[in-house]
Amino acid sequence: MAKFFDVHPEDPQPRAIRQIVDLLHDGGLVAYPTDSGYALGAQIGNRQALDRIRTIRQLDDKHHFTLVCKDFAQLGQFVQVDNDIFRAIKAVTPGSYTFILPATKEVPRRLLHPKKKTVGVRIPDHRFVQVLLSELGEPLLSSTLLLPGQEEPLTQGWEIKEELDHAVDAVIESGDTAAEPTTVIDFSSGEAEVVRRGKGDPSRFE
């Protein structure tokens, strides 16, 4: 049965944050809110959690997983970014965008797209996530919580707990959560390609 955390959206309780980080360090899989719906999250090196995410979402090996980063310093360790792309991403982060970029050797192979050797990265504009990432000290391996057959991510913590009570280890609620997923921009070719239109304004990348 999943633990349920009700975290203050503006002033997250330090004790709750520490408990969630401990759970992640112990190999846990959490459902957590972001600025664009809920996501499933785990430590980067957690192979078992990766398999659990694939099972919950019924994903194939071509799915792009995302590293949710606190800031650019963290993001830059895991993806290759030239100056033009750096400026383009910097202009819209933190925000509701996911960027697909060539991965560095810091990213485990099993997280990469099998042919492109790319990975998704994002810096969310969400107080709880920023505090959690500060305490965790590394990005979260993440995937949007879109269940098979659904077109929008779930937004209510209690609803997710009912749905995934035995599939995840914790569900976190922290204020209202938007239903719209991120806008996905693929920079793997060196040019911006809008892969998915979502909450972030895609016009500057078109």
pLDDT number for residue 114: 80
Q: Which one, of 131, 133, 49, 168, lies nearest residue 121 by Cα?
A: 133
pLDDT number for residue 177: 85
Q: Which one, of 162, 147, 134, 3, lies nearest residue 70 by Cα?
A: 134
Residues with Cβ within 8 Å of 163's Cβ and at least 6 positions away in sequence, in order, are 147, 154
Listed as ranges, residues in the chain with pLDDT below 70 are none
Q: What CATH architecture is 3-205?
A: Alpha-Beta Complex (3.90)
Distance CA 9, CA 3 (A): 18
pLDDT number for residue 85: 92
pLDDT number for residue 61: 77
The ranges assigned to domains in the chain are: 3-205
pTM of the model: 0.93
pLDDT number for residue 180: 84
15, 35, 122, 128, 172 from 67: Cα distances, Å: 24, 15, 7, 16, 19
pLDDT number for residue 110: 86
Distance CA 164, CA 56 (A): 9
pLDDT number for residue 186: 96
pLDDT number for residue 153: 72
Question: Would you call 63 exposed, middle or buried from its count of C-beta atoms within 10 A (0-12, 13-18, 19+)?
Answer: middle
Distance CA 200, CA 98 (A): 9
In contact, 56 and 164? CB cutoff 8 Å: yes
pLDDT number for residue 119: 94
pLDDT number for residue 47: 93
pLDDT number for residue 63: 82
Element (H, E) at 119: strand 118-122
In contact, 132 and 96? CB cutoff 8 Å: no
